Structure 1
Amino acid sequence: MTLQKVPDDCWAGLLVERGEALALVERVVDDLAAGGSSLVHVKASPGGGLTAVLGRLATEARARGAIVARARCSPDEATAQFRVAWQFLAALGVEEWAPSEQAHAQRVVADVVLPLCQSVLDLAHQQPVVIVVDDAQWLDRASFELLRALVRRMDHVPIVVAVGASVLCPSMTITAELESYSATTHDLKLEPLTRGGVEDVVAAVFSRQAAPEFVNALYEHTGGLPAVVRKVLTWLTRTVVAPDADVVPRVGDLAKAVIRDRVDLRIRSLPRTSRRLLQAIAVCHDVFDAHDAAAIAGLVSSFAHEVDVLGASGMLVERTDPKLADPIVADRVLALASRADREELHGKAAELANRAALADETVARLLLGAAPVGTPWALNSLRGTAKYHKQRGDHRDAVRLLDRALLEPVSTAQRAQLLVECGAVETALSPDAGDRRLSSALATGGRDLARHRLAAVDLLLARGNCDLVKQAIVSVHTRHDLDPAERDTMCALYWMADEAPHDQREFSPAALPPLTDEPTDPAQAAIASWEAVAEGRDIDRARRLARTALAGARVRDSLLYPRIVAARALIYTGDFTESITAFDAVVLEARRRQVPATAGWALMNRAKAYARHGLLGDAAIDLERALEELPIDRWHPVVRPAFVGLELALTMESGRVQAAERILATEFPATAKAGFSWNFFEFGRGMVRLASGDAAAAATIFEETGRRMLARRWNNPALLGWRSMCAIAYRGCGRHEEAARMCAEEIRLARRWGDPSSTGGAHLCAAIALQGSESLAHMEQAVAILRHAPSPIRYANALIELGEARLTAGVAGDARSLLVEAERVAAAHGAMGLAHRARTLIASTN
């Protein structure tokens, strides 16, 4: 099928819904042929088909033997005397007015007008004359005087003066000043095409009926303006075969482009001063009125004239209180302005808004388009408005405002603070860009910048970019502008970056000072407490150090990541209430500071505390809220497995193995496997494989998890009971001796740590992994220990194992009481898989 090609003359005779105009053309030409004269005034909206009607008049008159002269006015020539007159006089062959004389604008008009007028009348006595003036709202005064003189004298002379002007023109309608003269006057107003008219145009162009959807779209997007309809259809016919429904999306795009181009053309044709006023109104349109905009533009004295010009061009409406005719005008006039002009007008408008005590948001929005101001009020407005947008969750606008604030001439300390603020909020949009800002703040030199540098590290750690943290701290910790306190805190933050890749070689930990045994610095106390937890030695020391870290200073004055580390340590020392209280304080403060990554990381760790305590519902809620603070794809790749791994653990605890299988399908970036959080996801994968009956695969996974844990010297079974799970998997593979060794090692380490939950859990897993009397002994110990431990789900599991063993031994009464208690505890904590298993066993006792 070949493409439709519109012939060049397709539009020449296409005047749809212009019956009144065509009848007037015929009447005027007939009168002219009979020796009569007429003044024709055609009005239309821009693009309303005015030029086409005037063109038809010229064509018909020329066909009947008339001399036709056409001229077009433009706003930039409205003050050039006789500029339009010269156009039509030259076309008529009148030589008395030479182009070189156009510059004599100060000549007395009467000295020139009457001779020229007489020359035209003499010509008309020889042959009918038609003068067509398009866009007459821009007619210069001298040319107008010539036309008026001609109209006053053309009675009974075969002359037609046809002028076309915009309906938007408020003060330059020619007929208003000419109607008192003897010439026959015709006024015609052209309306936009109706939907039916648009449909007829399409049918004429494509030689077929259009789809209703196509016609509707064309009508709605063009407003029925013939010039716009024509341009859109001309473009469409270059690539479109037929006006069908599937073309509708292109119609809207093309119409917008055509309208934009038409507006651009009108803006470019405006005089410089009119353009400047329009630019000022566009800058101020929803802040100040047009009079204030004129003051900003320096055009108070010529305001009325400029408004007339802009109204006639269709840029403004409502002459007494001028407003932009369409939002596209503001967009295009500023797009076409030079950067210097835009910045100057925005700066003046912002200064006026500040003097008028308008809202900071208004001042800041104007400053976004201005060059740096260099005043305190500008910086305060930008930062204050950014804070407001952060509170509303409008991160993109907040970043724009802080970006603009960074352009102001600020001190080094202010710049570092702005970089931290911008990096914190940009994390929600473009995490890597946010990290670069924070890294820049960290690299900023100066003894008085410790607070900002440490805040940058605090935020980088919260999102999980531990690799960057370690590199940055190694590069800055020896600088001379770091005081001893900052250097100690930096060292502690370095060791908190435990998500950095295992096999990192470019760092030099030996260059960092070692941590003291009993640090008093809150950050050092926090990491020391966590290292004690990870190693699994001296639970009392770990608890004491965590409390030292949390008691060091008010939350409002503290780094938040060390508090998260300390609160996380308290999870594994069995101090659940203290841990939750610490996490609560961090979440509240992080939200006050509007740092979503920190709030999200605290919520995720609080979810772990709830899960360990058997509060699965609360854990699931916190996990969901953590991802509301910062979606999963905004977290650094190395910590994403922590979130998915926790979801996996909660799903398995609730007994939904099939749902857990679906979670395992989660895709991670390749770099995610390098971080330490990968261990927790892999541990969950092993649990799913074990529950699915694939003990060999589970054993392999648990072994690899253990190898990675030991590589970091994380020996504490409270963190991840990989040895116990290995033992259970070994039993499924028939590797009983290995299972026994793993159980013994797990119990030894758990007892060394001294946390009842870990010790009871180790005995519970040993009961499952071992056989016979040995298994029964571990069951009884598990129940006894876990009864008083804050691990209700483990306790329920131990009750079920012991109850089932009693049932197997034929002690049904004892078994039933154990199972009833297990079902109650499991159901109360959302472990529905365990509750169902307990109910099934209870039923077997009846």
Structure 2
Amino acid sequence: MTLPHTALKPAHLTVLAPREPGSHRTVRRDGEERGPQPPHLRRDLRHADAVEAEQPPHRPAPIPTGRERELEAITKLCSARSSPSTSVLVQGDAGSGKSGLLRAAVEEIRGEGDTVVSASGDALESGFAFGLVRQMFEHLVRAEGGSPHALLSGQAAAAAPLLLGTAGGESAEDLPVEELLRGLYWLAVNLTTTGRLIIVVDDLQWADRDSLRWLHFLLRRAGNLPLVVLASLGPEPAGEGAETTGAVMRLLRHQLVLRPLDDEAVAALAENALGAAADASFSAACRAATGGNPFLLRALLRTLRAAGAVPDARTAGELTRDPLPGVGRAVQGLITSFGPDALAAARALVVLGGSADVLLLSGVAELGEGATRDAVHGLVRAGLMTDTGESVGFAIPLVATAFADEVAPSLRHELHARAARLLLAQDAPLEEVAAHLLHAPLGVPGAAEVLHSAATQAAQGFRVTEAVALMRRALREGVDDDRRATLLTGLGRAELATSVPDAVRHLERGLELSRDATERTVAARALSQALFTLDRYPEGLAVLRSTSETLRQVDAVNALRLEVDFLYGSASMPASAPAVLPRLQELRLSDAEGSGAERPLAALLALRTLMAGEDPDEVVALARRALSGGLHPGGDDSLVYLGAIHALGAAGQSELALSYADSAVDEARAQGSALTYAFALSARAAVRLRLGHVQECRADAEATLEVLGEIGVGRDCARSVAATAALMDALAKQGDVEGAAVLLEKGWLGGDLSGHWVNDYVLLARGRLRMAQGRTREALADFLLCGHRTSARKLPGAGVLAWRPEAALAHAALGERDAALALAREELARARRWGVPEFEGVALRTLGLVTGGAEGLALLREAVEILEGTPGKYYHAQAAADLGALARTAGELPEARIHLQQAAGIAHQIGATVVAEAALAELRALGYRPRTRAFSGVEALTPAERRVADLAAQGMTNRAVAEHLFVGLRTVEVHLTNAYRKLDIDGRPGLARALARTD
């Protein structure tokens, strides 16, 4: 790979001062001589002596890190006295360290009496006749107030017009070139009278043609002259001087090619720059980012040092992620040195994403195709670009990221506009055109249409962030009300996945402007969903009702679709529920058969059938019909489908409900919708808790709260409250009473609760927590209030919320046996009437505990037998633990041991710590010493930490994990840090192994 480079090199003589006093002469940058001088020159330099006395002491040129072997080779070639003259050509890509190597070489090889002259080629001065020669000798032969007879004596006098401007009335232009060449040759001869003449020419590729002819003339006649020529050659575009440069190159006896630095040299540079030993991954990343180019490496390391970076693996991962200003300025300087066409081409390539064909590049850069190819040719030879013949691209990652930030915003916008116009004319894919229109100034013809179409494609491909950006940009163009309404509706729907408050604002305006029935239906449903999510239920219901009424005469299907959501939302609030119950009883599935309203109506009717409490099979059939397209069919994010999920659980089909919820989570993640993902997670958390999967429920509930928080949904909103209650319930079942109490306080759930039906479940979970806290009377009040509210909603069945068993046990704990027995017997009767074994088993367990004695033992045996065949693992573990405890008290020790061991095993498997510990305690009372559960290592991880750790162990980056889970990057970093500490590891390398450890 060829490597880029830039450096600020003087356009005239380079300063090369002696290392120590001696009799040799050295030419400084200003052309003045130092060391013992001939008498006729010494008096002319008095002023210069005074000036130099004020200069700081000379510091020898440092040896370029990573070029020690090359320096040693040059020194050996030039120090040998077997041949009076020698010459070395150092070739390398821009930034490979040629200039520094030449300076260091001169410091090593010059000796007493040597004269050093040097010059540097420059692209902007390559047309000046004898430009390099003037750099070398003009100041040397100009002495204040005197004449340089010693240097320009004899045949060397022919060079006087060139170096002094005029001599004897002649000017340089009046003399034949051949005469000037001979005069300059003899000037070089005169400079070898006291020692060797060392000529240093940097960037030979930019030397003017006449200077190259003189150098060729000199090398051909060097013979036995004590002459050393050191030259460097970098990349150059093909030009008129290429042939002459090649002729000179062939006369340079030794040629040395500089290769990219290896990892060892990179590590040495990094340690020297940053003051600390570089991690191997850091060195490798630096080398990969810069291609091993010394100049880019130094620019990169300077920038990192200024930022206080540490040369470790973490820094390595961030090298090319963000622009590095210091590197960008350096790269821009290099590109600029190749001329304005090269700069224009590079800037155009930046806005084209770092890769493009030459025709498009030339159009965006506003260069002719030939000029663009020439510019690309030069940048390819400099190592900045690559050219496959089909496309041009930046060669090194760091060049692309660093230089991109150096293009001024106004120019960048104009270049994007050119790119958009050209691509649109070529019928390029819409997403390519739109990507440029995003950053172009307003007013590009056809911009709104292209942006809108591209946004639609992005939304259909679940690229939510992209769709939001495109629609926001399209709205800034001048569009009519119809298109604006469509854009606002689409933007609002997309923003449901990123910011619910923003979605509300745009959907309200879109609904206001829209005149299309279908579009108004979509806008109203999305807006109501957003308002419900933010607990603005009256507003959401008003939107659904008013829009449904206005559509009833023109679009009956969409009107019914909106009414379904209205009825479901109204049923959730006690103030609005009574008014809609008559209409709910009137509806039949045939009212929407074969239409887009059929599945949501089926979900609503499943809820109605559940309220009747008589036919679980019909509930299941309707719920399956509703969920036949998934939890979010065709992008329909209505909350009514969540009702179908809960109905399945209440009808004893929790495993089927879990399969729908699992699919919904996967689908929502693939779609990139944070709100849809949160809804799916929340539904799955509820189903998992019903199944008794305590640990998994906790993981889903925590994830739901994280995602909702990221998109602006507060902890006091219904969706957050539902997840908080599930998490609180799970924590209490795991024995983390303190953690559950903190959640209760953070969610403002400790006092009076609104009438929304999600708070019915909050009351149940809060009552369980208060029982665990020993606040039995308060717990009983919560259970009874939960029962009162569900009965008022016509949802008193055993499968909805199991408040009676909890209230019965609270009464029993308070010594109120009659009240406890009454509730327990009522629950058993309702459960048997409902006909779902799981709820019958729960009721039998409750009655057995309240009854006690031999009768209670028999009831518990029946409960365990029934629950063993159901998916309710938590209920089964509870009943088995209670049966074992009562059997131990009754002296049935073998039976007690069997059930207690079974209870401990199931409870440990599902994460129900309280039940597991209770069973283990009973086993110890029997005299057994079972292995206790270890609360360390992998088991010490919270579900959120385990979820993040598992993804990280699969090789996903922190950013990828954050995007996968719809959480912030900081959240991922915190979870990983906690996981490392609990697993006693230093970082990612040991993560997979630590997670695989068995308890």
| TM-score, structure 2 normalization | 0.60
Structure 1 counterpart of 2:872: 830
Q: Show the counterpart of 1:413.
A: 482
Query: 695, 719, 728: which one pairs with 2:808?
Result: 728
> 1:569-614: CA deviations, max 9, x gaps?
55434461465146416746x3423x6xx26x45543332122212
1:793 is the counterpart of 2:838: yes
Q: What corresponds to 2:779 in structure 1? A: 698
Q: Does 1:273 align with 2:341?
A: yes
CA distance in 2, matches of 1:152, 1:660: 92
CA distance in 1, matches of 2:730, 2:466: 38
Look up the SS of the partner of 1:414 in the other structure: helix
Return closer, same or farther for 1:186/1:721 CA change in 2, 3 Å cut-off. Answer: closer
Aligned equivalent of 1:576, options 616, 619, 634: 619
Q: 2:762 aligns with which of 681, 685, 688?
A: 681
Selected match of 1:769 from 811, 819, 827: 819
Correspondence for 1:325: 395
SS at match of 2:869: helix
Matched to 1:541, the amino acid is: P
In structure 2, the CA distance between the partners of 1:29 and 1:134, relative to structure 1 (3 Å rule), is same
Judging changes above 3 Å, is the alpha-carbon distance between structure 1 residues 619 and 210 closer, same or farther for their aligned structure 2 residues?
closer
2:465 corresponding residue in structure 1: 396
**2:230 match:** 162
* Secondary structure, counterpart of 1:827 in structure 2: coil
1:313 to 379, 382, 390: 382
With the length of structure 1 as denominator, give the TM-score of the two structures. Answer: 0.69
Alpha-carbon distance between aligned partners in 2 of 1:68 and 1:234, rounded to the nearest angstrom: 32
Q: In the alignment, is residue 612 of structure 1 matched against residue 650 of structure 2?
A: yes
Q: Note if contact 1:438-1:456 (Cα within 8 Å) is conserved in structure 2.
A: no
In structure 1, give the amino acid aligned to 2:515.
D
Q: Which segments of 5 or more consecutive residues in structure 2 lack a partner in the other structure?
A: 1-56, 143-159, 553-557, 669-676, 679-703, 896-999
Amino acid at match of 1:328: L
How many residue pairs are counted as aligned between the two chains?
A: 740
Kept in 2: contact 1:827–1:835 (CA 8 A): no
Give the AA of the match of 2:369: V
- Out of 40, 52, 76, which is 2:100 matched to? 52
Cα separation, 2, equivalents of 1:218 and 1:797: 64
SS at match of 1:787: helix
Aligned equivalents of 1:146 and 1:645: distance in 2?
Answer: 86
In 2, the alpha carbon distance for the partners of 1:729 and 1:334 equals 69
Match of 1:640 in 2: 719
**Amino acid across the alignment from 1:439:** R
Q: 1:124 aligns to what?
A: 188
Match of 1:541 among 579, 582, 595: 582
Q: What does 1:452-491 correspond to in 2, within 5 Å? A: 452=519, 455-463=522-530, 465=532, 467=534, 469=536, 486=547, 488=549
In the alignment, structure 1 residue 337 sits paired with structure 2 residue 407: yes
Question: SS of the residue aligned with 1:336?
Answer: coil
**Corresponding position: 1:189 with 2:239:** no
Counterparts of 1:210 and 1:440, CA distance in 2: 51
Q: Is the 8 A contact 1:532 1:539 kept in 2?
A: yes
Alpha-carbon distance in 1 for matches of 2:437, 2:104: 51
1:392-431 C-alpha deviation (Å, 9 max, x unpaired)? xx43344344444444443333333333333333433x33
SS in structure 2 at match of 1:70? strand
Q: Per-residue deviation at 1:541? A: 2.6
Percent sequence identity over aligned pairs: 20
Q: How does 1:188-267 map to 2 (within 5 A)?
A: 188-195=256-263, 224-227=292-295, 257=324, 260-267=328-335
Structure 2 residue corresponding to 1:289, chosen from 353, 357, 376: 357
Report the Cα distance in structure 2 between the residues aligned to 1:446 and 1:211, rounded to whole angstroms: 60
Equivalences for residues 585-624 of structure 1 within 5 A: 587=630, 590-593=632-635, 598=637, 601-602=639-640, 604-622=642-660
Alpha-carbon contact 2:848-2:855 (below 8 Å) kept: no
Following the alignment from structure 2 to structure 1, what is the Cα–Cα distance between the partners of residues 353 and 270?
Answer: 38
Which residue of the partner structure matches residue 657 of structure 1? 733
Q: Distance in 1 between matches of 2:165 and 2:601?
A: 84
The 3-state SS of whatever aligns with 2:370 is: coil
CA displacement 1:120-159 (0-9 Å, x = unmatched): 3343232145443323334455654565565566666666
Q: CA deviation at 1:308?
A: 3.1
Cα distance per residue 1:45-94 (max 9 Å; x no partner)? 33322112211344457654454443334445556776656544544447
Residues 767 and 779 of structure 2 are in contact (CA less than 8 Å); yes or no, is this contact kept in structure 1?
A: yes
Task: Give the distance between the partners of 2:275 and 2:478, measured in 1 at CA.
Answer: 65
The answer to whether structure 1 residue 24 and structure 2 residue 74 are counterparts is yes
Deviates more, 1:677-686 or 1:350-359: 350-359
Residues 552 and 368 of structure 1: CA distance in aligned 2, closer, same or farther (over 3 Å): same
Pairwise CA RMSD = 5.5
User: Are residue 378 (structure 1) and residue 450 (structure 2) matched?
Assistant: yes
Shift of 1:639: 2.3
8 Å Cα contact 1:489/1:523 also seen in 2:
no
Q: Does 379-388 or 270-279 show the bigger shift?
A: 379-388
Q: Distance in 2 between matches of 1:63 and 1:472?
A: 92
- AA aligned to 1:657 is K
For structure 1, the residue ranges without an aligned partner over 5 or more in a row are: 1-6, 102-106, 492-518, 737-766
Give the aligned residue type for 2:506: S
Deviation at 1:785, TM superposition (A): 4.8
* 1:695-734 deviation per Cα after TM superposition (whole angstroms, max 9, x unaligned): 2231344477689x69x98686569879857953762465
Displacement of 1:442: 0.9
Name which of 133, 137, 140 aligns with 2:205. Answer: 137
Deviation per CA, 1:208-255: give whole Å up to 9, x if none: 998878877776666554445666777888999xx9x97665578789
1:148–1:785 Cα change, 3 Å? same
The answer to whether the Cα contact below 8 Å between 2:654 and 2:871 also exists between their aligned partners in 1 is yes
Amino acid paired to 2:582: R
* One-letter amino acid of the structure 1 residue matched with residue 94 of structure 2: P
Structure 1 residues 797 and 260: alpha-carbon distance in aligned structure 2, compared to 1, 3 A threshold: same
Shift of the alpha carbon at 1:840?
3.6
The code of the aligned residue for 2:619 comes to F
8 A Cα contact 1:462 1:561, kept in partner: no
2:496 is aligned with 1:448: no
Tell me the residue number matched to 1:71. 119
Letter in 2 for 1:446: L
Quote the Cα distance in structure 1 between the aligned partners of 2:278 and 2:725. 58
> For each residue in 1:149-181, what CA deviation from the matched residue of structure 2 results, as whole angstroms up to 9, or x when unmatched?
655666666665533122687777677532598
Once the two structures are superposed, residues 599-646 of structure 1 have per-residue CA deviations (whole angstroms, 9 ceiling, x without a partner) of 6x4554333212221233334455556666324133333123454367
Partner deviation per Cα, 1:518-551 (whole Å, 9 max, x = no partner) = x986545654576568658699735425548x94
Structure 2 Cα separation of the partners of residues 525 and 180 of structure 1: 86
Q: Is the contact made by 1:69 and 1:91 (CA closer than 8 Å) also made in structure 2?
A: no
Structure 2 CA distance for partners of 1:303 and 1:251, relative to 1, 3 Å? closer
Distance 1:8 1:650 in 2: 77
Q: Assess if the C-alpha contact under 8 Å between 1:793 and 1:826 holds in 2.
A: no
Task: Report the CA distance shift for 1:219/1:695 in structure 2 as closer, same or farther (over 3 A).
Answer: same
Are the equivalent residues in 1 in contact too, given 2:729–2:768 (CA < 8 A)? no
